[in-house]
């Protein structure tokens, strides 16, 4: 275990503690400490990763990646679900910027249009339709926060150490890492990016497109059927204690 691996391990442990402190809990507090630990963890991760060649590209990557990760952390840990959805949108913008940075322009635009434009708005609609009045009790309590944060920290630590270790092992250099950059300029980094995407999408991956279209149609019909069946007795926002309510109500 070399030095960057130790740093990555420490970053994963600190990040898990930060997320555990940031999760909603009964007693307030811990948010400032959690934020500080998370910042330290992000800094350690950035220090342990090997740097890019260009300082401009490096700082852009750190900016976009940090924005994505911090927004995702807020989206997971905030109490108010509307704020969760909005920070999720911010995280989506960061992911889209990372796609741009990588040369996947069509995917970046599709992410913004489909995710931030449609799916996120749908989440917000459902939140407005189904939001309990004010601050709901279940938003202020998390369930097994310590255990899940420890599992996630373990997973992230193992994954990042394995990736960083295996990518820089001397065995890899002879395989596909030796693709020359000029070949990439003709391939995934081609100037006519959308043309290439379309050619691939409707050529080699045509069956996948058809399957996705069928799936979208089935989901449309399914959602309509599910909502159409839900004509049971409508219950307003819950005023009583959840414990005193009975079993499932059959519509």
Q: Which of 9, 17, 37, 81 is the binder for another protein (CB under 8 A)?
A: 81
Which of 75, 41, 138 has its CA nearest to residue 33?
A: 41
Q: Which of 17, 75, 93, 116 is the binder for another protein (CB under 8 A)?
A: 75
Closer by beta carbon to another protein, 32 or else 134: 134
Tell me the C-alpha distance between 183 and 156, whole Å.
Answer: 33
Residue 14 makes contact with another protein by CB under 8 A: no
Two tokens, residue 5: 């691996």
- Any idea which residue has 């996630």 for tokens? 152
Two tokens, residue 207: 């069956």
Residue 40 makes contact with another protein by CB under 8 A: no
Instruction: Find out whether 91 and 68 touch, Cβ atoms under 8 Å.
Output: yes
Residue 10 makes contact with another protein by CB under 8 A: no
Residue 234 makes contact with another protein by CB under 8 A: yes
* Interactions with another protein, residue window 132-151 (CB under 8 A): 132, 136-145, 147-149, 151
Tell me the C-alpha distance between 156 and 9, whole Å.
Answer: 9
Q: Which of 35, 43, 103, 109 is the binder for another protein (CB under 8 A)?
A: 103
Q: Which of 3, 170, 192, 236 is the binder for another protein (CB under 8 A)?
A: 236
Tell me the C-alpha distance between 131 and 147, whole Å.
Answer: 28
Closer by beta carbon to another protein, 33 or else 199: 199
Tell me the C-alpha distance between 150 and 193, whole Å.
Answer: 41
Residue 9 makes contact with another protein by CB under 8 A: no
CB of 32 to another protein, least distance (A): 19
Tell me the C-alpha distance between 191 and 193, whole Å.
Answer: 5
Q: Which of 173, 174, 192, 207 is the binder for another protein (CB under 8 A)?
A: 173
DSSP string for residues in 51-115: PPSSHHHHHHHHHHHHHHHHHHHHHHH-SSHHHHHHHHHHHHHHHHHHHHHHT-HHHHHHIIIII
Residue 23 makes contact with another protein by CB under 8 A: yes
CB of 39 to another protein, least distance (A): 14
Residue 251 makes contact with another protein by CB under 8 A: yes
Residue 167 makes contact with another protein by CB under 8 A: yes
Task: Name the burial class of residue 178, with classes exposed (0-12), middle (13-18) and buried (19+) by CB atoms within 10 angstroms of its CB.
Answer: exposed
Tell me the C-alpha distance between 151 and 149, whole Å.
Answer: 5
Q: Count residues near another protein (CB under 8 A).
A: 117
* Interactions with another protein, residue window 176-215 (CB under 8 A): 176-177, 179, 181, 183-184, 187-189, 196-197, 200-201, 204-205, 208, 212, 215
Closer by beta carbon to another protein, 31 or else 179: 179
Residue 171 makes contact with another protein by CB under 8 A: no
């Amino acid at each position: 275990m070399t030095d960057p691996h130790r740093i990555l391990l420490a970053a994963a442990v600190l990040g898990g503690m930060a997320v555990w402190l940031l999760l909603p809990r009964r007693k307030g507090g811990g948010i400032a400490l959690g934020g500080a630990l998370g910042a330290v963890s992000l800094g350690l991760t950035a220090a342990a990763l090997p740097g890019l060649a260009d300082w401009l590209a490096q700082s852009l990557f750190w900016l976009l990646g940090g924005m994505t990760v911090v927004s995702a952390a807020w989206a997971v840990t905030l109490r108010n679900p509307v704020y969760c959805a909005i920070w999720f949108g911010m995280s989506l913008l960061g992911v889209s910027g990372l796609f741009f940075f990588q040369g996947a322009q069509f995917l970046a635009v599709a992410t913004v249009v489909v995710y931030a434009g449609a799916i996120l708005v749908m989440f917000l609609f459902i939140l407005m339709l189904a939001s309990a009045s004010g601050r709901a009790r279940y938003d202020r309590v998390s369930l097994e926060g310590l255990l899940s944060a420890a599992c996630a920290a373990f997973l992230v630590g193992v994954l990042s150490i394995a990736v960083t270790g295996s990518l820089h092992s001397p065995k890899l250099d002879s395989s596909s890492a030796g693709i020359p950059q000029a070949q990439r300029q003709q391939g995934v980094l081609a100037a006519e990016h959308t043309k290439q995407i379309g050619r691939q999408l409707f050529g080699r991956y045509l069956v996948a497109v058809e399957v996705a279209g069928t799936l979208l149609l089935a989901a449309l019909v399914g959602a309509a059927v599910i909502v159409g069946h839900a004509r049971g007795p409508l219950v307003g926002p819950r005023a009583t204690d959840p414990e005193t309510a009975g079993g499932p109500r059959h519509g």
